[in-house]
Amino acid sequence: MANFDIEKMTKSEAKKRAEKLREEIADLRYRYHVLNDPKITDEVYESLTRELKAIEAKYPDLVRPYSPTQRVAGEPLAKFKKVTHKVRQWSLNDAFTKDEIIAWDERNQSGLAKIFGHKPGQLSYDCELKIDGLHLILTYEKGLLVTAATRGNGLVGEDVTLNVRTIDSVPLRLRRNADVVVEGEIWLSKKELERINREQKQKNLPEFANPRNAAAGTIRQLNPKIAAARKLDTFIYDLSAANFKLPDNQHKELAALSELGFKVNRHHKIVHNIGQVIDYWQYWEEHKADEDYWIDGVVVKLDLRQHQEALGYTGKAPRFSIAAKFEPEKATTVVEDIIVQVGRTGRLTPVAVLRPVQVAGSTVTRATLHNEDYINELDIRIGDTVVLHKAGDVIPEIVEVLPKLRTGKEKKFSMPKNCPICQSPTERILGEADYRCTGKNCSIQRIRGLQHFVGKAGLDVVGLGSKLVERFFEEGMVQEPADFWKLREEDLAEMERLGEKSAGNLIEALKTRKQVELSRFLSALGIPNVGWETAHALAENFQSLENIVKASLEELEKVGDIGPVVAKSIYEFFISDKVKEEIRNLKKAGLQVKQFHPGPGRGKLTGKSLVLTGSLSAMSRDEAKEKIERLGGKWSDTVSKKINYLVVGDEPGSKFEKAKALGVTILNERQFMELIR
C-alpha cells in the first residue's frame, strides 16, 4: 500500500488499481477456499481489502457489486421475499442398510437394461459426503451472483442473498462469464459453534443445539451483519443449469464447479461397483467425527449423465441418486406419560411425554407414537424405559422397549373413546390404524385447519402465527378462512400485545395474499393426503380451480402420482357442501385464485404432441408423461391428425389402428426411449 498513495492517484489510476485489487483478492479467496492453499494468510487478504476500501471510499462510483468490500451490504430486512426456483429442487430417497443400497443398485441395473436393451454391467458411482447443513441454491447471470435461496417446498424458497453474500466461500463473481444455477450446503464448523455458544451464554441467550440449527438460524437473521459475524461455510455439489454444455459425468461436474470458483468437498470418490459404495459408506460412518463439520451419511449418484437422464425422477426424488444414511444416534429415557393430539382432519395421534434426554445434539421431550398398532407392536407402556433415536436425524422415534427394567407399576395405554377436546365419540378409520374424532365442530380441528390455511404450507401470511390464529378463533373473530379478510385494522389494534403497527402490517400482509397461485391455494385447503407435490400436479393438469372442483374420480386418477386413494380424497373433498360454501365465501371476500400458466417448454420435444397406447416396461404412464413435459412436449389421450407420435407399448388398444389410418408416426418402446433420452 505504501507504493500506492491514494491521495496522489488520478481517478483513472484508482480505477485500474481497484480492479487489480479485486482480481487479486478474488484469486486469494479461490486459492484459500477452493484450492485449500495453506500459504494464504488473513493479514495479506485484509491488507489488500483495506486498500480497496480506501479507494472506493474516495471514489464511490468505482464500487462494484462483486467487490469483496460489498459482502456485508444493505440495511436489515423487514422480511424475506419469496423466490421461484428456476430448477425444481428434489429430495433424496434414503437407505439405512447394506441390503437397501444393494437393492437400489439392482433397480438401476434393471431400469437401464430395459431402456438401452442390454445389461449395463458394473456401474460407476460418485460417492460424496452428506453434509448436515442447510440446502442452498445460487443463481449467477453473466458471472455475477444474482440470488441465493433456500429450498423451501422445492418450487418456491426464500431469498437469503444478503446473508449468503457474507459467506467468504461463496464467489460474488465467477471465474468465467457464465449463467449458472448451482446447489450446495451451508454449514457451520464445530469450532465456530463452540465460539458462538460461548457468546450466547455470556449474553444469557439460548445456545444452539447443533451446527445445523445454528446455520439455519444464522441464514434466517434479517440483519446481514449478524450473519457475517458467524463464520458460515459452503460446499457446492450440483451444477443444475448452465448456458454451456453440462459435463457428461458427475466427476467432471465437480471439477467444473471448482473451476468456476466454488468450494467442493475434497472427499468425493468415483467407485466402480456397489461393493465399493458400501466400503465408502462404512468407512465414513466410522470416521465422520474426524471432520470439523457434521456428516450424517453419504450421497451416491450414478456417475454418467447419460444414465442419470435415462432413469430420471419419481414424483419426489431422483432414481439415479440415494442418501445412504448412518445409523442414528440412540439414547435411553423413560415414558412419563402418553397424551393424544387432535389434528386438523380429526386424526388422533398418541404422543409420548419423555424424561428429557439429549439425542443428536438436541434435547428431546416428546416422541410421536404414530397409532395404536405401533404402540401394541412395541408394547410401549407409561413408565417404560425405552430406546430413542431421531429418524433421519430429525424426528424423535421410540424404536425399542427394555422390558427387563420394568418395576410392575407400568400402565398399558389405549386410545380414548372420546375426543380429548370436544368429547365427541372417536372411531377407528376403516382399513387404517388411525382413530379420528367424529365431532363435526371440534374446535381444535377448526383451529388447526385455519392455522394450516394461512401457515407456511398454505398461503404463508407473514405475521399470522399459530397463537394469533388461535386467539382470533377463541375471540370469535375468525371461524372460517374467509373471515381473515373481514378483519379490520382498528379492531386488531385494540387487541392486547398486538398494537397499531402490527395490526397494519397484518392487514397489509393479508391483502398481498388476495391473489394466490392455484397450487398454493390447493395446499392451503388442507385436502386429506394432498401435499405440495400433489397440489402442483393438480394445478398443472387441470389449470384452474373450477376444472378441479368438477373433475370426475376417473379424471383425478389419471394425474401423475395420484393413485385411487388420493383421488378419492380429492373427489370427496370437493363434493362436500361445506367446502363448496367455504370456497364461495373466500371468493366473496375478494380472494382470487390464479389459473395455472405453465412456462414455455424448451427441449427436444417442444411443440410435439404424443399419445401412449398399451403399457411400457421401463416406466409407468405417469413417468413417461413427466419426461415428455420436461422436454417441452405435450401429452394427449386422443389420437388425431394433430398428434406427432403414438407410443406403442405392450397390448396396444384401438388407438394403434386409428393412428395407422391417420398416418401418425408410430414409435415402439425402444424408439421412444431413444427419443426422450
Shared-domain flag, residues 260 and 407: no
Shared-domain flag, residues 497 and 527: no
Shared-domain flag, residues 212 and 275: yes
Shared-domain flag, residues 212 and 143: yes
391 HSE (CA, 13 A, CB side)? 9
Shared-domain flag, residues 364 and 272: no
Its pTM stands at: 0.62
Radius of gyration of the chain (CA): 28
With respect to residue 89, please indicate whether it lies within any of the assigned structural domains. Answer: no
Place of cell 456428516: 295
With respect to residue 546, please indicate whether it lies within any of the assigned structural domains. Answer: yes
With respect to residue 91, please indicate whether it lies within any of the assigned structural domains. Answer: no
With respect to residue 470, please indicate whether it lies within any of the assigned structural domains. Answer: yes
Cell of 526: 388442507
Shared-domain flag, residues 588 and 652: no
Does residue 458 contact residue 520 with C-beta atoms inside 8 Å?
yes
What is the residue range of 383's domain?
A: 330-428
* Residue 355, φ and ψ in degrees, nearest 5: -65, 125
DSSP classification of residue 568:
H
End-of-domain residue from the set 17, 50, 70? 70
Number of domain units in the chain = 6
Residue 374 sits in a domain whose CATH number is: 2.40.50.140
Q: What is the DSSP string of 168-218?
A: TTS-SB-SS---EEEEEEEEE-HHHHHHHHHHHHHTT-PPPSSHHHHHHHH
With respect to residue 600, please indicate whether it lies within any of the assigned structural domains. Answer: no
pLDDT, residue 78, reads 66
> Catalytic residue numbers?
130
Residue 574 sits in a domain whose CATH number is: 1.10.150.20
pLDDT, residue 467, reads 87
End-of-domain residue from the set 493, 513, 533? 513
Shared-domain flag, residues 503 and 530: no
DSSP classification of residue 152:
T
Crossing angle, helix 274-287 and helix 98-116, to 10 degrees?
150
d(CA 110, CA 266): 32
Cell of 391: 429418524
Residue 183 sits in a domain whose CATH number is: 3.30.470.30
Shared-domain flag, residues 236 and 372: no
With respect to residue 94, please indicate whether it lies within any of the assigned structural domains. Answer: no
| Average pLDDT by stretches of 10, the chain with 677 residues | 66 86 82 72 77 83 82 69 86 90 93 84 92 94 94 86 92 93 94 90 81 85 86 94 93 95 95 95 93 93 92 83 88 94 86 88 85 93 92 76 94 93 88 85 86 88 87 85 88 72 85 89 90 81 90 85 85 91 92 75 69 76 73 75 82 78 83 79
Shared-domain flag, residues 664 and 618: yes
End-of-domain residue from the set 513, 542, 573? 513
With respect to residue 645, please indicate whether it lies within any of the assigned structural domains. Answer: yes
Residue 32 sits in a domain whose CATH number is: 1.10.287.610
Does residue 175 contact residue 140 with C-beta atoms inside 8 Å?
no
Shared-domain flag, residues 264 and 140: yes
* Residue 244, φ and ψ in degrees, nearest 5: -140, 165
Shared-domain flag, residues 315 and 379: no
pLDDT, residue 73, reads 62
Q: How many residues does the chain have?
A: 677
Shared-domain flag, residues 184 and 292: yes
With respect to residue 81, please indicate whether it lies within any of the assigned structural domains. Answer: no
d(CA 637, CA 27): 56
Does residue 659 contact residue 646 with C-beta atoms inside 8 Å?
yes
